[in-house]
Amino acid sequence: MNPDVELVVLDLAGTTVRDDGAVEAAFAAALTAVDVPAGSAQWRRAQAYIRDTMGTAKIVVFRALFPGDRAEQANRVFEEAFAERAIAVAEPVPGAEEAIRALRDQGRRVCLSTGFSAATRDALLDRLEWTDVADLVLCPDDAGRGRPFPDLVLTAALRLRVSDVRAVAVAGDTGFDMLTGRRAGASVVAGVLTGAHDAATLTAHGATHVLDSVAQLPALLGTR
């Protein structure tokens, strides 16, 4: 039998934060900056790749798409465009902040995790006034490899001193979030339908549960 969940690792964009298309718009700005013609076959291929790998570290996505300096340039433009737009439009997913508080009131620790850079993460949390909503916030700058590697979840498990990797629940909106949770040994890997991917994709990547929203997570886990 799995131990009770002590730690919940929640994704930001698409899971706890609505960015109103800021991620997609920032990727478009980045492709334009490295001279990919809008609407071209290369543009469509890049967008499909970006969509399929949503949730991983952005710099890894750009390195896979563009050799050398273009990846760094694309990433810089992405970060700038996203930070600018997200600061203007990001809002919590309805019920997300209440869910985080409910999970902590249940005696669980909560880590927010993201594939953004540390600077973008901080801008987003400032905008939401979420600088101390969770016990910990991690991005790939803090914790080695981004998704779908298990580093973010395992780092949270170590830093927040869980007794067993199975005492971890992970929630996210992408296939890579699900794969990350599975690879880290989490016993609950919940996909949410407020973001990038549909139920079939989340399930195919290992979701143990599919929820309409992160707001349903405290009820799923129950009281301790």
Q: In the complex with Mg ion, which residue's Cβ is closer, 36 or 192?
A: 192
Does residue 14 interact with Mg ion by CB under 5 A? yes
The CB-of-164 to Mg ion minimum distance in angstroms stands at: 26
Does residue 112 interact with Mg ion by CB under 5 A? no
Phi, psi of 214 (to 5 degrees): -60, -20
Host H or E run for residue 18: strand 17-18
Does residue 13 interact with Mg ion by CB under 5 A? yes
Does residue 139 interact with Mg ion by CB under 5 A? no
Question: d(Cα 136, Cα 18) in Å, to the nearest integer?
Answer: 20
Q: Which stretch binds Mg ion (CB under 5 A): 5-13, 40-48, 57-65, 142-150?
A: 5-13
The CB-of-192 to Mg ion minimum distance in angstroms stands at: 9
The CB-of-173 to Mg ion minimum distance in angstroms stands at: 4
Does residue 19 interact with Mg ion by CB under 5 A? no
Host H or E run for residue 182: helix 175-184
Does residue 173 interact with Mg ion by CB under 5 A? yes
The number of helix segments (H) and strand segments (E) in the chain equals: 10, 8
Does residue 138 interact with Mg ion by CB under 5 A? no
Q: Interior CA angle at 201 toward 50 and 139, to 5°? A: 50
User: With contact defined as beta carbons under 8 Å apart, do 17 and 128 qualify?
Assistant: yes
